[in-house]
Amino acid sequence: MLVHGQFADASGWKPVYDILSRDGYNVDMVQEPLTSLDEDVAATLRVLGRQQGPSILVGHSYGGAVITQAGTDPRVAGLVYIAAHMPDEGESSASNKAKIPSAIRTVTTADGYVFIDPAHFQEDFAADLPAEQARFMARSQIPPAARVNATLISHPAWRVKPSWYMVAKDDRAINPDLERMYAARAHSHTVEVNGSHAIYISRAKEVAAMIEDAAKTLGNQLGN
């Protein structure tokens, strides 16, 4: 199950979906509303309820916070984080970014929703994507409610489930050093790649390979 982050939707997962589906995996994507962490977790569990057998949750960006909260569900076998937040109990995405800041430039609306400044979207989110694609993403971005970033994690799944982590070495949305801290703290199987925050698109082959490695490892452990 693939869980998108902020400023994007599940369609960005298509390159990864295509590879995994071709290789015989049953893949679903979550279209979370980005309105509250509870509602985003509920959307994830709703899709999880349609799965057969153990599942792997894959989160990009803020989607990592979502799978951290949702992943304690007994149907979840493991977690894969792609340039993602991975808060501990009592932490939030915002509190961790305050400790290790990023370079992303955002604008908050009067009613509490957040946009990336379209003039800086490619530089801050998708520097390794074609300019035309980045322009479209900038104009179609889905703004999250600011409160989702401040909501504290209560039961972090990575403390009880195996995890994999891909660090984007050129990330401006989440500081790569914060990503490294997350991965080291959780003892995740970690790979670092050159790329922007949008590695779930630009490095789809490597992302799919990490997910397949997780699936094979967990399958062997479960006797499948």
pLDDT in tens, 146-198: 999 999 999 999 999 999 999 999 999 999 999 999 999 999 999 999 999 99
Mean of per-residue pLDDT scores for the chain: 97
pLDDT of residue 221: 81
CA distances to 57, 133, 163, 196 from 176, rounded to whole Å, are 21, 24, 18, 10
Mean pLDDT of the region 92-120:
96
pLDDT of residue 33: 97
pLDDT of residue 223: 67
Output phi, psi for 196, to 5 deg. -85, -175
Mean pLDDT of the region 62-77:
98
Angle of the 14-22 helix axis to the 204-222 helix axis, nearest 10: 50
Structure-token pair, residue 221 = 């452990």
pLDDT of residue 222: 74
Q: Is 112 helix (H, G, I), strand (E, B) or coil?
A: coil
User: Which band of pLDDT confidence, cut at 50, 70 and 90, is reported for residue 224?
Assistant: low
pLDDT of 200 over the 80 cut: yes
pLDDT of 42 over the 70 cut: yes
Which of these ranges, 41-55, 94-108, 171-185, 209-223, has the smallest mean pLDDT? 209-223
pLDDT of 220 over the 80 cut: yes
pLDDT of 121 over the 90 cut: yes
